[in-house]
Amino acid sequence: MLYSVKMRSAQGGPHEQGGRHISGAERILSEEKIEQAIVAMLHRAQKHQRGMADFISLKVEAVKTADIFYRPLLPLSSCQADSVMTGRKAAVEELVKAGVSTEAAAAGISRIINLRDSMRGAMLLDADTGLRVDSLGERGVRVSKMDCDNSERYEARLLEKGLFGDHVREALVLASKVVSAVGVVAELCWSDDPEYVTGYVASAKYGYKRIPVLKEYGNPIGGRVFFVEQGTDVQKLITYLQDQVVLIRPEDK
């Protein structure tokens, strides 16, 4: 039996009462790994770069094997960029390559830059017009119920590329789920952790493109934008992103 384990933490009360989002995490694990994961999540929430949480929610739910979707791990590669400006330029180029309009790509970047504070979830934007298509306001769409299929194998794959740590580990799984959704053209992301400036653009066509710098060091604003094809059933998409259990599998070499 597998379990979905989720954590979200906030400062100034629960998210739904206006608390400021501090951190979150989602895993799918077998029973014997739950305890360790919960302790790790708790520690993360308690001492986070973004500040001290005074609300921490941990949720454990059984997952029915029949409900699991398996999706491929996106191939990973990196862009060149040595400044915020060149990084954002690279992001626009990658988004346009993936099928997002220049206007929408620019809108995605400025939407993240102009956030008053980081959101818990992502904004869904129309890939042509750049207009927001979800109505979830400052909460956004929180992608959940995903993990890699085999942690040891996954981490070994990342290590082969010289990559390790929670940020990339979680982001690559999340992006692999997001771009597997019907209607998603591409994703843009950078972290809200002040010390983590690397971000990415992901698409089913071109995979996960790391961009070394997308914001200034010390900046606590980050975010995610999912660019959505026109005519997409947005409610169905949100349900897939939030509720569909997805395990990500590296493709055999």
Shortest separation between residue 81's beta carbon and ligand WAQ, angstroms: 13
With left for phi above 0 and alpha for psi between -120 and 50, is residue 107 left, alpha or beta?
A: alpha
Q: Does residue 130 interact with ligand WAQ by CB under 6 A?
A: no
Decide whether 1 or 107 has the Cβ nearer to ligand WAQ.
Answer: 107
Burial classification of residue 163, based on how many CB atoms lie within 10 Å of its CB (0-12 exposed, 13-18 middle, 19 or more buried): middle
177: CB partners within 8 A, 6+ apart: 71, 143, 146, 241, 246, 248
189 in helix, strand or coil? strand
Beta strands 76-78; 223-228: pairing state: unpaired
- Using CB under 6 A as the binding rule, the residues of this chain from 188 to 247 that contact ligand WAQ are 189, 191-193, 196, 198-200, 210, 222-224
Q: Which amino acid is at 53?
A: A
Which positions from 137 through 196 interact with ligand WAQ, judged by CB under 6 A? 141-143, 167-168, 171, 174, 189, 191-193, 196
3-state secondary structure of 211: strand
- Pick from 108, 121, 130, 250 the residue near ligand WAQ by CB under 6 A: 121
Instruction: Residue 32: count other Cβ atoms within 10 Å of its Cβ.
Output: 7
Lay out the site mask for ligand WAQ across 9-48 (x = CB under 6 A, - = otherwise). ---------------x------------------------
Q: Which is nearer to ligand WAQ, 132 or 167 (CB)?
A: 167
DSSP assignment, residue 214? S
Of 41-49, 52-60, 113-121, 152-160, the segment contacting ligand WAQ by CB under 6 A is 113-121
> Which residues of the chain form contacts with Mg ion (CB under 5 A)?
192-193
Residues that bind ligand WAQ (CB under 6 A): 24, 118-119, 121-122, 141-143, 167-168, 171, 174, 189, 191-193, 196, 198-200, 210, 222-224
